[in-house]
Amino acid sequence: MESNSRDASAILREIEALKATRNEIDSKISALEAQLREIKLQNGNDNGVLNNGSCPPISGLDSGFGHGLTPQMIYRYSRHLLLPSFGVQGQSNLLKSSILVVGAGGLGSPALLYLAACGVGRLGIVDHDVVELNNMHRQIIHTEEYIGQPKVKSAAAACLSINSTIKIVEHKEALLASNALEILSQYDIVVDATDNAPSRYMISDCCVVLGKPLVSGAAVGLEGQLTVYNYNGGPCYRCLFPTPPPSTACQRCSDSGVLGVVPGVIGCLQALEAIKIASAIGEPLSRRMLLFDALSGRMRIVKIRGRSLQCEVCGENTTFSKQQFQEFDYEKFTQTPLSPAPLKLNLLQADSRISGKEFKERIDNEEAHVLVDVRPEHHFKIVSLPRSLNIPLPSLEARLAEISSALEKKEDETNSGSGAQLYVVCRRGNDSQRAVQYLHKMGFTSAKDIIGGIEGCARDVDPNLPMY
């Protein structure tokens, strides 16, 4: 394994270096492509491309039919035009509208594809992230060839390949209080397709300050929800949630998992709400929230409270200004980082910890030991280290006897007078430290945790160990 893993590490390093170069080249190509599109648009493009920003508005197009739709547009959107409640007016409204989607992930993928397909005049995409292999099961806008490349670039290419006649704007950056006013002010409607509390508060506050409707969705595990904020006198996000939930209550897909199609369903519904607002049809989901439970297949719509007069941002006596917005610290307010680096606890003394490499050396030298894996059982089933004993952290207290007898058995087997060593592992090396702290208290004083957990071992010791 040693020489293999050394070879593999060198190859991995080389791949990373090449990817960095590729990203740089891709960024340059993106910038040039954007410039080219801009020039084409300014020269009056031959594709019937629309632009609600710097290009002539739809009314400037002389179609000769009195409604501004060209023959190609009529053919492309004919199934919309045939809908009596949508028709030419609905389509024209849509073509004149501009919509910003924040986040090109699980929710943003279907939302963007439908918004592009249906003919939103100008579609903005904000995301700072790159496409990863573990995004592919749900972030259906991205294809394998874009792994390692910016999500905005991949999403823009997919949208343009469906509809080359609309304007796509790539914002390859994180949306922050410092740039949100400038970016959001360029659009009529905002779709929140992010996955974290600071972004949700920030986007909602910015929409209030700028007077923009906000289509908000969320999906994790097997459940999703959807509503429209700040629309026609309806509530904003803060009216409903004046104080952020404890950061531990906010689940993320990378920890809790998500069935790919669940954000797919909610993202499609987000596109639908944005289309209803943009085309001025139907009743957007304001003052109501849609709740989706995938397992039962149930969708419920519940009434939610209206605008709160006491709301700090949109309430009667609010003093929340653009400047206050820009100075507001959303990460501090929600006690959650925007792009969380995985939590890295440091609860133990150095002599109670051991690196993955040292652990491997010790087991290669046949040290008598017991390895306890404190991850949940369904994690253990994905991947586990050889001969480890799965005792999930919450059941540690009830299963101490199992550890004692495993240690005794090991000592008997090996006749090691000095006793068997106790190691604890988890996914990333946080729960293992919590477990070791507890084990020390319960008399297992020599217990050690494996630094960085299974993920650390996959990175530093054995690249053949799968990551998840």
User: Residues marked as binding?
Assistant: 106, 127, 134-138, 151, 195-196, 236, 239, 311, 314
Query: Which residue type does 174 have?
Result: A
Whole-number minimum distance, CB 66 to ligand ATP, in Å? 41
Return the residue nearest Zn ion (CB atom). Answer: 311
Give the active site residue among 55, 207, 250, 426: 426
Closest contact distance (angstroms) between CB of 354 and ligand ATP is 28
Per DSSP, 399 falls in state: G
Among 311, 393, 407, 454, interactor with Zn ion by CB under 5 A: 311
Q: How far is the CB of 249 from ligand ATP (least distance, A)?
A: 16
Residue ranges in contact with ligand ATP by CB under 6 A = 102-106, 126-129, 135, 139, 151, 174-175, 194-196, 199, 252-254, 338
Helix, coil or strand: residue 270: helix
Choose from Zn ion, ligand ATP, none: what does 4 bind? Cβ within 5-8 Å by kind: none
41 binding Zn ion? (CB under 5 A): no
Query: Considering CB distances under 5 to 8 angstroms, the limit depending on partner class, which of ligand ATP, Zn ion, none binds residue 465?
Result: none
Q: Any idea of the CA torsion for 201, 205, 211, 216, to the nearest 10 degrees?
A: 0
- Report the binding-site residues for Zn(2+): 236, 239, 311, 314
We find the least distance from the C-beta atom of residue 58 to Zn ion, in angstroms, to be 34
Output 65 or 468, the one with its CB closest to ligand ATP: 468
Q: Which two tokens stand for residue 43?
A: 């020269």
The interface partner of residue 284, options being Zn ion, ligand ATP, none and the CB cut-off 5 to 8 Å by kind, is none
Nearer to ligand ATP by Cβ, of 127 and 373: the residue is 127
In the block, residue with structure tokens 């020599």: 446
Distance in angstroms (rounded) separating the CA atoms of residues 99 and 117: 13
Question: How far, in Å, CA of 378 to CA of 223, rounded?
Answer: 19
Buried b (16+ CB within 10 A) or exposed e, 158-183: bbbeebebbbbbbbbebbbbeebeeb
| Near Zn ion by CB under 5 A: residue from 155, 175, 314, 451 | 314
CB 181 within 8 A of CB 210: yes
- Nearer CB in complex with ligand ATP: 194/334: 194
Residues 118 and 264: their CA atoms lie apart, in Å, by 17
Residue 401 CB neighbours (<10 A): 8
DSSP sequence for 110-178: HHHHHHHHHT-SEEEEE---B--GGGTTT-TT--GGGTTSBHHHHHHHHHHHH-TTSEEEEE-S---HH
Interface characters, 7-36, with Zn ion (x: CB under 5 A): ------------------------------
Q: What distance in Å separates the CA atoms of residue 326 and residue 178, rounded to the nearest whole number?
A: 5
151 binds, among ligand ATP, Zn ion, none (CB under 5 to 8 A by kind): ligand ATP
Nearer to ligand ATP, 193 or 285 (CB): 193
Which of these ranges, 5-13, 37-45, 102-110, 314-322, lies near Zn ion under the rule CB under 5 A?
A: 314-322
Query: CA separation (Å) from 195 to 108, 200, 250, 425, 464?
Result: 10, 8, 9, 28, 30
Q: Which of residues 179-238 bind Zn ion (CB under 5 A)?
A: 236, 238
Min dist. Cβ of residue 127 to ligand ATP (A): 4
Q: How far is the CB of 325 from Zn ion (least distance, A)?
A: 13
Supply the minimum distance, in Å, between the C-beta of residue 128 and ligand ATP: 5
Asked if 209 and 325 touch (Cβ cutoff 8 Å), the reply is yes
159 annotated active-site: no
| Of 55, 118, 253, 457, catalytic | 253
Residue 311's binding partner out of Zn ion, ligand ATP, none, with CB under 5 to 8 Å set by partner kind: Zn ion
Residue (21 or 339) nearer to ligand ATP, CB: 339
b vs e for 89-128, b when ≥16 Cβ sit within 10 Å of the residue's Cβ?
ebbbbbbbbbbbbbbbbbbbbbbbbbbbebbbbbbbbbbb
Of these partners, ligand ATP, Zn ion, none, which one is at the site of residue 236 (CB under 5 to 8 Å by kind)? Zn ion
Q: How far apart are CA 321 and CA 304, in angstroms?
A: 26
**Of residues 59 and 178, the one with the C-beta less far from ligand ATP:** 178
The 3-state DSSP class for residue 293 equals strand
Residue 253 binding result from ligand ATP, Zn ion, none, given CB thresholds of 5 to 8 Å by partner type? ligand ATP
Residue pointed to by tokens 């874009």: 146
To the query of whether residue 426 is one of the catalytic residues in this protein, the response is: yes
**Residue that has been written with the tokens 């969380």 in this structure:** 340
Catalytic residues: 253, 426
Residues that bind Zn ion (CB under 5 A): 236, 238-239, 311, 314
